[in-house]
A and B are shown apart, each in its own frame.
Chain A
Amino acid sequence: MSFDFAVILAQGPKILSGIVVTILIWVGGNVAAAVLGFLIATLRRFGGRGVDVLLQVPIEVIRGTPFLVQIFLLYFGGPYIGLRLDPITAGFIGISVYGAAYYAEIFRAGYRSVPVGHVEAAECVGFSRNQIIRFVLLPEMALLVLPPSINMAIILLKETALLSLITVPEMTMTVSAIGSQQYAFVEALVVLALVYWALVEVANWLGRIAERKLSKLSA
């Protein structure tokens, strides 16, 4: 068995477009997931016991089922209830919702980590709820929620590979298609491994920078 990477790399533009689609859905979906997760955690923190319990249900359902099953039902089942999404939109929504369930738990742990006394003190000096979230809770939990958030971003990147199932032209789809057309299967796998690995390392690197800045701020 000999390896020939040239036949894969000759398709540079196609690979590049796959990488771009992957990055766009990953970054967009991840940001949306974090925002949505934060909103859910905030609702649960301040919305009273009823809201807290009610929101637990979708979170458990989403965290308890594989992304593959969710995306399949969303894309192929959606039209039966009048929800006809194009592949990229469905992929973006799928990633956002899946990620949001995990981010909601990350931020919930963050809210819990802040001592009640700090919130009470802020209330005493007349801070509004928004001000408390912005100036007390968020800064105090930032260092704690950062590592699991980076972890989550990495998990979401790898889940985007499943979007080929719903015809999103992301990089797993484009590179493995080139691999089978050129009969360079293993080479295609190696290329995919390297690109994902590189993207993950970039995410880790950004995470470490953010961590360092944050710990300087809070020091």
Chain B
Amino acid sequence: MTWKLFSLLLEASLMTLLVSSISILVGLGIAIVLSGMRMSGNRALFAITGVFISFFRGVPLLVQLLLIYNLLPVLGLTLPSLATAIIGLSLCTAAYQAENLRGGFEGVPKGLVESAEMAGFSPVQTFIHIRTPIALRMTFPALVNEAILILKSSSLVSAIGLIELTKMAQNLAASTYMPLPIFASAGVIYLAINLVVAWLGRRAENALPGLPTK
């Protein structure tokens, strides 16, 4: 294991960080919209979100990515690998994040919602300004956990053409025929990234305002 090989792994981990961080944020946005749809009281919207969440949690990410990658061109839409990877990862994490958020939305104190409505907020305004911030605050640790899971799952986007950390490790293993030190190094880099994310998560959590009590 030379420094040259290690620095190639480090370089490739930037792609891992890029794809995961964009997907986490886009996924969070989708998850909030899904939660809104689920709480809208509209039966059709409720059913759609149910199927969406069930599908993206139920099907392995690798299978999802390959389906998106190979089916979209048949429908006439050929997106580059990076876009496909971000779409796939975002949709998948959105389903998990929507599940995480559900607990948070259920925990929003009823009194707060009622007083917002009395103050003349529309249901949509209440959702955006009252429910969502509180639900996000309550489920923040779950968000950090999900970020770590996505960082690790992002290794699967190599199957559709992105060279991120795991793919680089596989490539280097396939040209040096010394897979063990290379995979071990990749593991160390993943661990370092995830420890930093977990640490930042704890710091952020302490910095966030406290929760309203029931």
Which residues of A approach B to under 8 Å, CB–CB? 1, 60-61, 63-70, 72-73, 76-77, 80, 151, 154-155, 158, 161, 172, 185-186, 189-190, 192-193, 196-201, 204
Distance, CA A72 to CA B183, complexed state (A): 8
B74 contacts A by Cβ under 8 Å: yes
Are B195 and A197 in touch, CB under 8 angstroms?
no
Residues of chain B contacted by A70 (CB below 8 angstroms): 187
Are B60 and A158 in touch, CB under 8 angstroms?
yes
List 8 other contacts, CB 8 Å, given A76-B180, A197-B54.
A64-B198, A69-B166, A69-B187, A73-B187, A185-B70, A196-B58, A197-B59, A200-B58
Distance, CA A189 to CA B71, complexed state (A): 11
Pick the residue among A66, A77, A186 that contacts B67 (CB under 8 A). A186
B107 contacts A by Cβ under 8 Å: no
29 intermolecular pairs with C-beta atoms under 8 Å apart: A60-B195, A60-B198, A63-B194, A65-B194, A66-B152, A66-B155, A66-B190, A69-B169, A69-B184, A72-B183, A73-B187, A77-B180, A77-B183, A77-B184, A155-B149, A161-B62, A161-B63, A172-B60, A186-B70, A186-B71, A192-B63, A193-B64, A193-B67, A196-B59, A197-B54, A198-B58, A201-B54, A201-B58, A204-B54
Residues of chain B contacted by A154 (CB below 8 angstroms): 57-58
B91 to chain A, nearest CB (A): 13
Interface string of B114-135 (1 = CB under 8 A from A): 0000000000000000000000
